[in-house]
Amino acid sequence: MAKRTRRQLLGQHFLHEKKILMKIVEAVDPKPEDLIVEIGPGQGALTFPLAARAGKVVAVEKDYVLIPQLEKAGPSNLEIIAGDILEIDLNSLLEKKKAGFKLIKLAGNLPYHISSQVLFVLLQVREKVERAVFLFQKEVAERIVSPAGQKKYSPLSILLQNYFDTQILFQINPGAFNPPPKVDSACIRLLRREVPLYFQPEEEASFYHFLQQVFHQRRKTLVKNLESAGLKRERVLIVLEKEGVKSMSRAEELPPEVLVRIFRRLNVLFG
């Protein structure tokens, strides 16, 4: 087996096409009163244009080899933090850095193998972040914005859409990166909602657990999945009847607001 390069191990695909870089900058919309946190600045292709317009850019870079050049070439309003975004306490970091700034925005060309994990990091800091603009594998981006009835619709889709207005802005072909990935990419923007769309933050943990149960085996009906989770079939059928949902329905067919109502009824009646 051929030895993997450092870039391959870290999942690095550096974006080099200037028109696309500027489209991403426009999506982030950095302003002098903004603090931008960039995840994985790489060689600085996006970092430096962001810093030219933002109040400050804090860039979290895992690859220590890239850091000296970033620090040497970067402007005075750029701070490089050596570390792994999945291990750093981002909430504490934002708390320390936010003073004097109106909005906090996240950006990044993310390694595909950590994209879902980064989205859970975003959920942890959602109250502090006004928007996030990320480059993802196209399939991941489609999962984030997916509505009910599509194969990519998932618990993570529902969680993110509850707190953010999610939108795929444009697609990017592999040739825009060095080295080119094997799949298409997409730029996605997540704008924080002032008010959660479907459920309240205090319900999140238990509702997400419910979603994991009902999506556990997608080809099975919602009733079957809840039976497997330990609920009595008769109880589930009572709730579905009250909501006007057919007993043979699958979770992936039901919009978030219906799933929330089923979850709440089950909790109230049989919790």
pLDDT in tens, 159-174: 999 999 999 999 999 9
pLDDT tens digits in sequence order for the chain, 271 residues long? 444 444 444 446 889 999 999 999 999 999 999 999 999 999 999 999 999 999 999 999 999 999 999 999 999 999 999 999 999 999 999 999 999 999 999 999 988 888 899 999 999 999 999 999 999 999 999 999 999 999 999 999 999 999 999 999 999 999 999 989 999 999 999 999 999 999 999 999 999 999 999 999 989 999 999 999 999 999 999 999 999 999 999 999 999 999 999 999 998 765 5
Residue 89 CA to residue 97 CA, distance in Å, equals: 13
Sequence-separated (6 or more) residues with CB below 8 Å from residue 266? 210, 226, 231, 235, 236, 239
Is the sign of the CA dihedral 30, 35, 39, 42 positive or negative? positive
Domain ranges of the chain: 6-192, 201-270
pLDDT at position 271 is 56
Q: What is the DSSP letter of 193?
A: P
Residue 212 CA to residue 210 CA, distance in Å, equals: 5
Q: Are 15 and 170 in contact (CB under 8 A)?
A: no
Tokens of 73: 């070439």
pLDDT at position 13 is 82
Task: State whether residue 91 is helix, strand or coil.
Answer: helix
Tokens of 68: 């000296």
- In this structure, whether the domain defined by 6-192 belongs to CATH 3.10.50.40 is answered with no
Residue 192 CA to residue 214 CA, distance in Å, equals: 26
Ordered DSSP codes for 128-192: T-SEEEEEEEHHHHHHHHPPTTSTT--HHHHHHHHHEEEEEEEEE-GGGEESPPSS-EEEEEEEE
pLDDT in tens, 41-69: 999 999 999 999 999 999 999 999 999 99
In angstroms, the Cα distances linking 234 to 107, 216, 217, 231, 252 are: 47, 20, 20, 9, 21
Distance of CA 251 to the CA centre of its chain: 21
Residue 32 CA to residue 104 CA, distance in Å, equals: 11
* CATH fold of the domain at 201-270: Helicase, Ruva Protein; domain 3 (1.10.8)
Distance of CA 230 to the CA centre of its chain: 31
pLDDT at position 4 is 41
Q: Are 174 and 17 in contact (CB under 8 A)?
A: no
According to DSSP, the residues that pair with 134 across neighbouring strands are 108, 188
